[in-house]
Structure 1
Amino acid sequence: MRLGYSVETVRAAEGELMARLPEGALMQRAAAGLAAAAAGLLGRVYGARVVLLVGSGDNGGDALYAGARLVRRGAGVSAVLITPGRAHTAGLAALLRAGGRVADDPYEVLAAADLVLDGITGIGGHGGLRPDAVPLARAAHGSGAVVLAVDLPSGVEADTGEVGGEAVRADATVTFGAYKTGLLIDPAREYAGAVRLVDIGLGPHLPSVPELEALQHADVAHLLPVPAAESDKYRRGVVGVVAGSARYPGAAVLAVAGALRGGAGAVRYVGPGSDAVIARFPEALVHGWPPSKAGRVQAWVVGPGLGDSPGVDEVLDSDVPVLVDADGLRGLDPAVVRARSAPTLLTPHAGEAAALLGVAREEVEGTRLASVRALAAKYGATVLLKGSTTLVADPDPRRAVRVNPTGTSWLATAGSGDVLSGLTGSLLAAGLAPLDAGSVGAYLHGLAARLVSRDAPVSAHDVATALPQAWRDTTTP
């Protein structure tokens, strides 16, 4: 599992560690890891042209010390000092002693660079790049050189993933000691490129509960439901699906498709799409209205393609976990959700989340972490906020928010959210807690899309069909 920590937490851990080490030792560890990553990106260090964009803080010091190491391996290293009188004194001296230089014309060396190290601002930066750094960041991005960010791309918010102005667009980022939460969340994740964590010894000084968690294959495999020898279809869990309408019968089909592949033993369908569902999936159990007469279920899914059809109130009155998606979210009353005796999982996209919070969609997209936490607090529910980085927040603010690492832009296709709802609802019925069901559902959903897309368009049906392979991939050693 990848763990993301706040700036405050990382700095506290660094302070504890530095108190045990000789002065400057921690920066030397960071510089060594940074230089090794730079060498790996270059392939051949000898004769390579490296430019350091150096700010006034320790980030600039890391870049300068790494630059000195690259000089000793035969690279030509030029430093561009954003604020010449405030560059890290010892780091600059080390670079010059090794044979590096300070650039006279920053744009000339950037135009010829093979690699640019972004050491402009560190994890404490706010509000985007300062005006004097913006032209240099643009020149680095347009030079054709590989841009490697030091700890995080300058101009992004380390704690939130927000980008409040111009920021460096990196091809890769080397982060020290711990992942910063913003590196795992869009829009900042898009600016970071491939992220590599360099261990500098912070582990024993970090708290056991991070701010952010990103599941990996082993974590998902541990959470996936596995039937026991004595299991039957009812013991494995039954999920009820209330979805679809005369206008959108396909939503019912896709939600049931996801549910059938989510680990529950049976799927009960209630709604206007019965004929379409049973024609496609004869194994589904189709029932007439109302949902309360459909038989026992361990979880409900309500909302995909529902339009103005009834169903939300009836399902929320039940005493089992409920997943509410799409049309089910319209006008949802926080008091009703908070009063439920069983857990509720909401799965909005950014537009739906904005409506629930009463803010503009752009605000949700720019402040995804704050928005998912706000929704979870407002409704007293687990919230899965869909998007370029899907986040899952528990109503308990002391628990880490989960971020899904498997998403792909090809999932932005009609009906893919219906598949996710059915899949996640089935995991709820199989016994997973809402935070785990949302996290595992998003993980498998994204992985399935990756398996079938291969950088080409896919349909929601393709994603549903690939879910068994995604499941197998996570459980195969």
Structure 2
Amino acid sequence: MRHAHTVDQIRSAEAALMATLPDGALMARAAAGLAAALVDHLGGTYGRRVLLVVGSGDNGGDALYAGARLARRGAQVSAVMVSDHAHPEGLAALTAAGGRVVDVVPSDLDVVVDAIVGIGGRPGLSQAAHHALEAVAGVPVVAVDVPSGVDVDTGETPGPHVSADLTITFGTHKVAHLVEPAASACGAVHLVDLDLDLPAATVTALQPDDVRRLLPLPAADAHKYTRGVVGVRAGSAAYPGAALLCVSGAASGLVGMVRYVGPDETAARVSATHPEVVGDGRVQAWVVGPGTDFDAAAALQAALADGVPTVVDADALAHVTGPVASPLVLTPHAGELSKMIGVDRDEIEASPLRHVRAAAQQYDAVVLLKGRHTLVAAPDGQVRVTTTGVPWLATAGAGDVLAGLVGALLAAGLDPFDAASVGSWLHGAAATLASGGGPIVAGDVAAALPDVVRLLMT
């Protein structure tokens, strides 16, 4: 599991560790890790031209000490100060190693190191920092801990901020590394371990081992009913394809049986494409909403009448007005969530973590907010971030496949939070596998799901 801790949690853990170490030892660890990651990024040191953009505090100190290490190995290291309070010992170490402080930005740089503000900084950039970054536009940027200017604990970017190609962070991931829009500003993220003793995090991201552990596998004596039965209420005369795609996500092999309930003509098409799918009957979970059009309210009412866990997607979301007796997974995109909680779409996209948590509390349900980094929130505030997937996944019908997949995992026995987060991870991984770097359609994602599971289990 990838854990994203808050600034207060990190500060507390750092203070506890520093109490057991000699003065400066923790910064030395961070600087050594930063220098090593920069060497790897640059592909060497000798003759490389490095510019440090340095603010005040320990973040700047980390960069200055790292710069001294690079200078001793033959790099040409310059530093631009954007604060009157640069770390004095770090500055002395840099100049002693042959680095220099400059007022004019050198040309032909190989990399710019953003050490303007660290995790204690406020969102936004000072005028001096903004000018320094303008002077190096187009040069690859490596951020120290987080890109300067982002909100570390929320992932929001309310003002000007650095957009990095690589972020080298220390001790643990931060919320801004996982949650959009700040996550996009981080580029690739490299973690330097500092051996911090950290508490549990409320924002996490599943990794392959976690998904492997959570996947419901058939027992040696399993039969189709013990593996779970999922029902799908989807599609309409206007949108029969939504039913086919939702069923394809549900019928990916992770559940013992799929039942389909919908218009006769659509049911015939589902049966022709998926002959293993049967009609109405008892289920352990329902999926309702994709393509249901004007029948959405009735389909939702029928599904909820069974009292089993239910995935509510697409058209049916508009008919959920508050908490219900059945455990729910609600799967909106930002536009749908906007209507559900009465907040402008732009606000949701600027602050997705805050709003998905608010929705989970309002509806007393697990809410899966689809996006570049999908967020799955539980009513208690726990959030899992999906980091699998590719931009090609932004294609019509992909959400229908996801709804069916999450419903299958519910029917197979996962609780709503696990079903939503595992389903989202598998969905993204299947898109990556199917894409191979090129375009895909939603059906490709469903077809790749068995192969993703197979690869995961080997």
TM norm structure 2:
0.97
Tell me the percent identity.
56
Q: Deviations over 1:380-420 (max 9, x none)?
A: 001111101001111123xx311111022111100000000
**CA distance, structure 1, for counterparts of residue 103 and residue 136 of structure 2:** 16
**1:137 corresponds to which of 110, 133, 137:** 133
Tell me which residue corresponds to 1:327.
315
Task: Kindly indicate whether the alpha-carbon contact (under 8 Å) linking 2:80 and 2:132 is maintained by their aligned counterparts in 1.
Answer: no
Task: Kindly indicate whether the alpha-carbon contact (under 8 Å) linking 1:251 and 1:418 is maintained by their aligned counterparts in 2.
Answer: yes
Task: Kindly indicate whether the alpha-carbon contact (under 8 Å) linking 2:229 and 2:257 is maintained by their aligned counterparts in 1.
Answer: yes
Task: Kindly indicate whether the alpha-carbon contact (under 8 Å) linking 2:123 and 2:161 is maintained by their aligned counterparts in 1.
Answer: no
1:373 aligns to 2:357 (yes or no)? yes
**CA distance, structure 2, for counterparts of residue 34 and residue 228 of structure 1:** 47
Tell me which residue corresponds to 1:265.
256
Whichever residue aligns with residue 3 of structure 2, its letter is L
1:180 aligns to 2:174 (yes or no)? yes
1:361 aligns to 2:361 (yes or no)? no
Whichever residue aligns with residue 317 of structure 2, its letter is L
Displacement after TM superposition at 1:315 (Å): 1.2
Tell me which residue corresponds to 2:411.
429
Within 5 Å, give how 1:400-415 maps onto structure 2. 400-415=382-397
1:307 aligns to 2:312 (yes or no)? no
1:86 aligns to 2:85 (yes or no)? yes
Displacement after TM superposition at 1:64 (Å): 0.5
Tell me which residue corresponds to 1:291.
none
1:118 aligns to 2:102 (yes or no)? no
Structure 2: 5+ residue runs without aligned partners?
A: none
Task: Kindly indicate whether the alpha-carbon contact (under 8 Å) linking 1:54 and 1:63 is maintained by their aligned counterparts in 2.
Answer: yes
Structure 1: 5+ residue runs without aligned partners?
A: 287-293
1:280 aligns to 2:270 (yes or no)? no
**CA distance, structure 1, for counterparts of residue 253 and residue 425 of structure 2:** 12
**CA distance, structure 2, for counterparts of residue 440 and residue 347 of structure 1:** 14
Task: Kindly indicate whether the alpha-carbon contact (under 8 Å) linking 1:67 and 1:95 is maintained by their aligned counterparts in 2.
Answer: yes
**1:190 corresponds to which of 184, 189, 195:** 184
| Secondary structure, aligned partner of 1:118 | strand
**CA distance, structure 2, for counterparts of residue 381 and residue 424 of structure 1:** 14
Matched length = 454
**CA distance, structure 2, for counterparts of residue 401 and residue 429 of structure 1:** 22
1:472 aligns to 2:457 (yes or no)? no
Tell me which residue corresponds to 2:369.
385
1:154 aligns to 2:154 (yes or no)? no
**1:225 corresponds to which of 216, 222, 225:** 216
Residues 1:126 and 1:68: Cα distance change in structure 2 (over 3 Å): same
**CA distance, structure 2, for counterparts of residue 321 and residue 245 of structure 1:** 23
Task: Kindly indicate whether the alpha-carbon contact (under 8 Å) linking 1:452 and 1:466 is maintained by their aligned counterparts in 2.
Answer: yes
1:252 aligns to 2:238 (yes or no)? no
Displacement after TM superposition at 1:368 (Å): 1.1
Displacement after TM superposition at 1:125 (Å): 2.0
**CA distance, structure 1, for counterparts of residue 218 and residue 3 of structure 2:** 30
Q: Deviations over 1:119-178 (max 9, x none)?
A: 0011122232122211322333423xx311100111111111111122111111110001
Tell me which residue corresponds to 1:51.
51
**CA distance, structure 1, for counterparts of residue 208 and residue 40 of structure 2:** 26
Task: Kindly indicate whether the alpha-carbon contact (under 8 Å) linking 1:262 and 1:423 is maintained by their aligned counterparts in 2.
Answer: no
Task: Kindly indicate whether the alpha-carbon contact (under 8 Å) linking 2:60 and 2:116 is maintained by their aligned counterparts in 1.
Answer: yes
Task: Kindly indicate whether the alpha-carbon contact (under 8 Å) linking 1:50 and 1:76 is maintained by their aligned counterparts in 2.
Answer: yes
Task: Kindly indicate whether the alpha-carbon contact (under 8 Å) linking 1:382 and 1:394 is maintained by their aligned counterparts in 2.
Answer: yes
Tell me which residue corresponds to 2:39.
39
Tell me which residue corresponds to 2:28.
28
**CA distance, structure 2, for counterparts of residue 320 and residue 238 of structure 1:** 11
**2:444 corresponds to which of 444, 453, 462:** 462
Tell me which residue corresponds to 2:234.
243
